[in-house]
Amino acid sequence: MENMLSIAFGLAVSVLVSVLVWTTLIAGLYQLLREQFRQASSFVQRFTQERYVQRTDAGPQVAHQQPVAGH
């Protein structure tokens, strides 16, 4: 009986602690990946915008030197 109690207690503690820790870790990893993805996408967006601004600022001079397909 005592042995069963100790096994049940060990199992309960193991499950509770593991669920708490790993749920937190998985939630954190998810948030980390989302933050990294957001940073990467905002970097790409900024880079694209800067390129667009550079081209429009340079105007016909750049367009004359480096003609871009579709323009």
Partner 1 sequence: MEDVGVKKAHLGFWSLFALAVLAGAFIGLGAEFSTLAVTDSGLGFGLSKVLGGLVFSLGLILVVIAGAELFTGNNLIVMAWVSGKLTLGQVMRNWVIVYLGNLVGSLVTVLLVYLTRQWSFADYHVGATALNIAVAKVNLSFAEGLARGILCNALVCLAVWLCLSGRSVTDKILAVLFPITAFVASGFEHSIANMYFIPMGLLLRGEPEVVAAAGKAAADLANLNLQGLGGNLFSVTTGNIFGGGFMVAVVYWFIYRRPHEVTRSSEAATSVRRLLDLFLSSHQPGNPTKRGKA
For 26, residues 6+ apart whose C-beta sits below 8 A from its C-beta are none
Closest approach, Cβ 28 to partner 1, in A, equals 3
Residue number with CB closer to partner 1 (28 or 51) = 28
Residue number with CB closer to partner 1 (4 or 65) = 4
Which residues of the chain form contacts with partner 1 (CB under 8 A)? 10-11, 13-14, 17-18, 20-22, 24-25, 27-29, 31-35, 38, 42, 45
How far apart CA 50 and CA 34 sit, in angstroms, is 24
